[in-house]
Amino acid sequence: MTSSSAATWPIVAMAIASEADVVAVRQRARLLAEKLGFERQDQTRIATAVSEIARNAYGYGGGGRAEFAIDASNGRQVFVIRVSDRGPGIADLDAIFEGRFRSQEGMGLGLVGAKRLMDRFDVSCPPGGGTVVTLGHLLPVRATPVTAAGLATIVRTLGPSPDDDPLTALREQNRELIETLEALRRREQEAQTLDRELSDTNRGVVALYAELDERAEQLKQASELKSRFLSHMSHEFRTPLNSILALSRLLLDRVDGDLTLDQEKQVGYIRRSAEGLLELVNDLLDLAKVEAGKIEIRPVRFTVTELFGGLRGALKPLQTNPGVELVFESGSDLPVLVTDEAKVTQILRNLISNALKFTETGEVAVTAGQEEVTGRVVFSVRDTGIGIASEHQERIFEEFSQIDTQIQRRVKGTGLGLSLSRNLAALLGGELSVESALGQGSVFRLSIPPRYGEAGEASGDPPTRRRVLVIDDDETFRYVFRQLIGGDPRFEVIEAADGEVGLRRACEDSPDLVLLDLQMPRLDGFAALQRLEADPRARRIPVVISTSLAVTPELAAKVRPGVPILSKRDLSRERVSSLLNDLIDNRVLP
């Protein structure tokens, strides 16, 4: 960074040319904030804001540069980060910061979020092209003022760029996430204490109500920050996690050579750890959506028999204990349900998965019936497991809450499944309850109305079907996708036999998802993806690559980082169904 005055001291500059560089810039921002004396919370704010702007520079600006410096030109020292890119610039900055700009890709949200996290924020678009974002955070008053000699010492101790190993970044970001959640929990406890004080005395009612209003606003801002943080961090977690899973699968499949027994065991441990982290990320993202009110309920018509059939197949991989039998039973004359099938499935999967974990012998019975008085449909998951003591039966529905038992220490878990399930049940207009006793098993009951909301009761008509466009020159694979997708009443499959026809149908038919093959004559998938992203009529459509090529990091980088890749070598109804459910639930897709 070129100093414009003697009061500006450059620290270090970094190129932004890949996803790994975005992670490295975030880590360097956090490390410098720590060395400059910022508290942990401010370190997280600075790292998060810099990460958002660096990601914008890479994703929308085609790469750029991050420069770190200390500015004392106005008397108070400021930690300054300047991020520049080579993109086309931003047409209407005022619309973004006034909240009038709407983008399917999320463009603009990073700028608004970063501005709220920093003390100083400036965006400019030079005449020659590109965008320059300058962020600043005042150094803490209690911190020792930075001198030229002190800054030189900091620069010498920095060493090379931070390690961009995905696991290292995940551990660091996960630790920051837990600390942020703990700080929010302490704020909530402080608010509860204030409420008790208000109920115990009437003196100073006006002053106390004013303080309560101020505290409520702080909690609202903290909740928004937590939801935004969870959403952004979950998205950042997914890219390295999916890379770990893909690489471990390559190793286990012996693509690059054989493994010893010890190596296979080690790679298996890595893969299971990554799968556990991915489960945690998905649960955190769902919780953030629930708290932010961004989860939409999409009612469809389905029967309990169809629901149980899908669950029976999806949960088969979890039945690893031959001493436990999984049984599904449904009562007769149950009504056709008109509610969100994906949410009901998610709740029951969590309940059944927990029951299988904590049952060593006996059975897990899943039943359904209808209450005579209320007409509600009640799903019950009964097990013969270890049971839950009465004093813990409400605690298990709290976030990150787990009961310390011998089985719990062995199977572990995220501690979010039951909390998320109860929130989803409430969104469906129902409730989730438990009956249990130590040593006698447990019964979890999900009670929901057979029709969601008044609109569902009035018409009973299913919602508009989602449209999936399959662009593939191979008739065999178009047939396979028709079979895998066409059986789901929520989706309609349309086809294109080459890239040119696919582009036209994408623009004219406005599908909700595109499955794009890479190897096609005339116009291959790489070129088709670029043209889809460049066309304003099609760039909002999520694209998933389907290919017969080996899914490697090199292929993912060539396609574009973040675009999901579905291997034709590993097609299954469960894999495709999971992909479609992600679309229905509005999970983050590029």
Residue (of 263, 232, 267, 261) closest to 247 by Cα position: 267
Q: What is the pLDDT of residue 2?
A: 41
Rounded to an integer, what distance in angstroms lies between the CA atom of residue 14 and that of residue 64? 9
Question: Which residues lie closer than 8 Å to 369 by C-beta, 6 or more apart?
Answer: 330, 331, 334, 377, 378, 380
Q: What is the dihedral of CA 258, 259, 260, 264, to 10 degrees?
A: -150
- 107: number of Cβ within 10 Å: 15
Residue (of 69, 56, 184, 218) closest to 137 by Cα position: 69
H/E segment holding residue 182: helix 166-200
Rounded to an integer, what distance in angstroms lies between the CA atom of residue 295 and that of residue 290? 6
Output phi, psi for 510, to 5 deg.
Answer: 45, 60
Encoding tokens for residue 526?
């790489």
Cα 499 off chain centre by:
31
Rounded to an integer, what distance in angstroms lies between the CA atom of residue 5 and that of residue 70? 11
Encoding tokens for residue 229?
């943080």
Rounded to an integer, what distance in angstroms lies between the CA atom of residue 364 and that of residue 316? 13
Encoding tokens for residue 564?
């999901």
Encoding tokens for residue 317?
């991989």
Evaluate whether 234 touches 284 at the Cβ level (below 8 Å). yes
Encoding tokens for residue 232?
């952004």
Rounded to an integer, what distance in angstroms lies between the CA atom of residue 544 and that of residue 515? 5
Q: How many CA atoms lie within 13 A of 285 on its CB side?
A: 20
Output phi, psi for 33, to 5 deg.
Answer: -60, -40
Encoding tokens for residue 271?
């893969």
Q: What is the pLDDT of residue 6?
A: 55
The type of residue at 367 is: T
The CA-CA-CA angle for residues 320, 324, 327, to 5°, reads 105
Residue for token pair 């060539």:
558
Encoding tokens for residue 260?
């010893």
Q: Counting beta carbons within 10 angstroms of the beta carbon of residue 330, is it exposed (0 to 12), middle (13 to 18) or buried (19 or more)?
A: middle
Question: Which residues lie closer than 8 Å to 44 by C-beta, 6 or more apart?
Answer: 30, 176, 179, 180
Rounded to an integer, what distance in angstroms lies between the CA atom of residue 22 and that of residue 136? 18
The CA-CA-CA angle for residues 535, 541, 546, to 5°, reads 105
- 555: number of Cβ within 10 Å: 15
Radius of gyration, alpha carbons of the chain: 27
Rounded to an integer, what distance in angstroms lies between the CA atom of residue 447 and that of residue 428? 9
Q: Counting beta carbons within 10 angstroms of the beta carbon of residue 194, is it exposed (0 to 12), middle (13 to 18) or buried (19 or more)?
A: middle
Beta pairing partners, 429:
none
Q: Counting beta carbons within 10 angstroms of the beta carbon of residue 217, is it exposed (0 to 12), middle (13 to 18) or buried (19 or more)?
A: exposed
Instruction: Report DSSP state, residue 318.
Output: G
Rounded to an integer, what distance in angstroms lies between the CA atom of residue 45 and that of residue 52? 11
Rounded to an integer, what distance in angstroms lies between the CA atom of residue 15 and that of residue 24? 10
pTM confidence score? 0.38
pLDDT one digit per residue (tens) for the chain, 590 residues: 444 445 788 999 999 998 888 888 888 998 899 889 898 888 888 988 898 899 888 888 888 999 999 998 877 899 999 999 988 887 777 777 766 666 555 556 678 878 888 989 999 888 878 899 999 999 988 888 888 888 888 888 876 655 555 556 556 666 666 666 677 777 778 877 777 776 666 556 566 566 766 776 777 666 666 666 655 555 566 667 777 877 888 788 887 788 888 888 888 888 878 777 777 776 666 666 666 566 778 888 888 888 888 888 777 777 778 888 888 987 778 888 999 888 898 899 889 888 888 888 889 999 999 888 888 999 999 999 888 888 877 778 776 566 655 554 455 555 667 888 888 888 888 899 889 888 888 999 999 999 886 333 333 444 567 888 999 988 878 878 887 886 667 788 888 888 888 898 888 888 888 999 988 888 888 888 888 888 888 888 888 888 888 788 888 888 877 788 888 777 777 778 777 777 655 544 44
Encoding tokens for residue 500?
């040119």
Q: In three state form, how does the secondary structure of 319-363 look? A: CCCCCEEEEEEECCCCCCEEECHHHHHHHHHHHHHHHHHCCCCEE
